[in-house]
Structure 1
Amino acid sequence: MVLACIKYCYPIRQRWLGVTSFGVPEKLGCTNLPLSARQKDLCKKKPYLIPSIREGARLGIQECRNQFKHERWNCSISPTVYTASSSLSLSFITSSLASAHTMFGYELSSGTKETAFISAVTAAGLVHSVTRSCSAGNMTECSCDTSLQNGGSASEGWHWGGCSDDLHYGMWFSRKFLDAPYKNASGKDSDVVNLMHLHNNEAGRQAVSKLMTVDCRCHGVSGSCAVKTCWKSMSSFDKIGSYLKDKYENSIQISDRLKRKVRRKEKNDRKIPIWKEDLVYTNKSPNYCVEDSKLGITGTHGRECNRTSDGPDSCNLLCCGRGYNTHVVRHVERCECKFVWCCYVRCRRCESMTDVHTCK
């Protein structure tokens, strides 16, 4: 029963990521967006949040690709969704519907560590984008965190001020929007797959909260910094992505038998608590070495590798022991440019040869 749900439930419940495929979603209305019934209802009540939902999905997808770009699983996206560039293609942004299942394929329905990371990073992306919108004054329901105002330490020469990022609304909306599809009509989770997704969603949100920083600005004569005004800010999303990548590396396999909460798969380790910041998964990952069109695994054939590296991007690891091909690539560019009076720039034409290694 659990395996059947793993195969068929995920594509439906992750469709919200498809909102990134709409160029101007606020003009299309909530009905046409790839959302669950509960998500559409919330969308209709708060249509002004659609740009933040779209931005949150974009943030999560792009950071996933950034964190895994040198590994066997490189957060691969359907070729129709992404171009060869590292950024979202124009066709993806402006095309009609592109569901999350179309984008991620196997990883979205596998219950693996990769599924866990996708859930966490996109949940974090939604918190980040909504909170940014609040701090920018784009919404009437939220703004800066005013609870900190007038606080601080006069004896130490600093006080709270400025516009602190207020996570409360972003965290609330992320839970309301992302967690609803994983709960049954009674409002409770119904199986271990849903428990896993709910846990990983929250882990992503906790990452944003845990990495909040304190920024300060000095005041005083000639920059003496006699007094400082400080405020709380969210970390950059690439820092949040790196934190979640570390959690991915240390993720915990859980039992596929439903209990009141997630439990470690190994019985001997069940007394060790699973913290809400941890990522959890049910199924082990494949090696992603060989293409499997049925599962949507692209394999590593043709991937560029680093012959001198000892990391995951090394030709030995990335090519899975199959070896690699070496191509010589010629680069031609303008160089040693000088301004000539008056009025043009004179450059030399420089050529260089580079060895490029690709997996067999």
Structure 2
Amino acid sequence: MCKKKPYLLSSIREGARLGIQECRNQFKHERWNCSILPSIYTSSSSLSLSVLSSALASAHSIFGYELTSGTKETAFISAVTAAGLVHSVTRSCSAGNMTECSCDTSLQNGGSPSEGWHWGGCSDELQYGMWFSRKFLDAPYKNSSDSDVLSAMHLHNNEAGRLAVAKLMTVDCRCHGVSGSCAVKTCWKSMSSFEKIGSYLKDKYENSIQISDKLKGKVRRKEKNHRKIPIKKEDLVYTNRSPNYCVEDRKLGISGTHGRECNRTSDGPDGCNLLCCGRGYNTHVVRHVERCECKFVWCCYVRCRRCESMTDVHTCK
């Protein structure tokens, strides 16, 4: 795919960056904080081009154990990277960076003139982005010699990520009229911010469904009592329960929570009690020095005071 469509490499890289960044953003306060292997960083502390270019196709090089563990975390990684690729390719299409796709022109003549609005502008067309994401990400699992449950799980969660982008499409409008009146509106469809898509997928992660490790044509719930309840395409699914991520396990690539900063007053996942797994926490005082109460002095410089503040920082034992 990369050889056939080299002009899409920048979109693949951006899709990987979006997925990784949003994964880390959504899990930054949790025991599993979407940790990625340190070897993929360059000296400038940014994700290297070569890694990002292949990140979506071989995410194992970034996430290690998590991509093959079959856990809820695996499900989220699949969904968010698939969504990231749709988002970046579609954005590139709308920007006119590619000859194979552009804006969604099917809407142009529609609307409701009687209600004072019509379709116009440049609507994001997901069709090409969805197609490329399926072609690029699903092939390794579809072509797998053994049709195992992990491949079926990846395929399902990849599609759930893509559907999240489609589901959260919004309608934006611009007013036209004399003196700023809104006599006529031109409207177009656009994708939601990736942060909103990430938040939606995080909610799906929280409510993900455990599936049976025995395939019978399609994925099905592990709990026999609930098998009559259908699994929706937008649901995230997993096969194995997650480890607690409390203790470091180098073999599995789990970094543990030792040394992580926690919030002593929070009852949420970032609270010292939950994040530190009951081991307790250390407290140390950090001194902050910054410029403050700055004033402009005629002429021509700014005079500031030097302010100091002390903050308690709590880290897990």
The verdict on a shared fold, with TM-score over 0.5 as the criterion, is: yes
Secondary structure, counterpart of 2:38 in structure 1 = coil
1:89 to 39, 45, 64: 45
For the pair 1:249 / 2:169, whether they are aligned, the reply is no
Deviation of 1:95 after TM superposition, in Å, equals 6.5
Q: Deviations over 1:239-276 (max 9, x none)?
A: 00000000000000000001111000011100000000
1:101 is aligned to 60
Secondary structure, counterpart of 2:285 in structure 1 = strand
Deviation of 1:137 after TM superposition, in Å, equals 0.1
Q: Distance in 2 between matches of 1:184 and 1:58?
A: 26
Q: Deviations over 1:301-323 (max 9, x none)?
A: 00000011111000000000110
1:276 is aligned to 233
TM-score for both structures, normalised by structure 2: 0.95
In structure 2, what residue type is equivalent to 1:214?
A: V
2:19 to 57, 60, 64: 60
In structure 1, what residue type is equivalent to 2:75?
A: A
Q: Deviations over 1:282-303 (max 9, x none)?
A: 0000000011111110000000
2:182 to 225, 238, 245: 225
Secondary structure, counterpart of 2:186 in structure 1 = strand
Q: Percent identity?
A: 89
Contact 2:30 2:270 in 1 (8 A): yes
Note the residue ranges of structure 2 that are not aligned, 5 or more in a row.
Answer: none
Deviation of 1:185 after TM superposition, in Å, equals 7.3
Q: How does 1:122-201 map to 2 (within 5 A)?
A: 122-184=81-143, 190-201=147-158
For the pair 1:342 / 2:299, whether they are aligned, the reply is yes
Q: How many equivalent residue pairs?
A: 312
Contact 2:65 2:253 in 1 (8 A): yes
Note the residue ranges of structure 1 that are not aligned, 5 or more in a row.
Answer: 1-41
Contact 1:131 1:169 in 2 (8 A): yes
Contact 1:81 1:89 in 2 (8 A): no
In structure 2, what residue type is equivalent to 1:210?
A: K
Q: Deviations over 1:127-171 (max 9, x none)?
A: 000000000000000000000001100111000000000000000
Query: RMSD of the alignment, in Å?
Result: 1.6
For the pair 1:321 / 2:278, whether they are aligned, the reply is yes
Contact 2:13 2:49 in 1 (8 A): no
Deviation of 1:280 after TM superposition, in Å, equals 0.3
Contact 1:252 1:264 in 2 (8 A): yes
1:359 is aligned to 316
TM-score for both structures, normalised by structure 1: 0.84
Cα 1:94–1:156 change in 2 (3 A) is closer
2:220 is aligned to 263
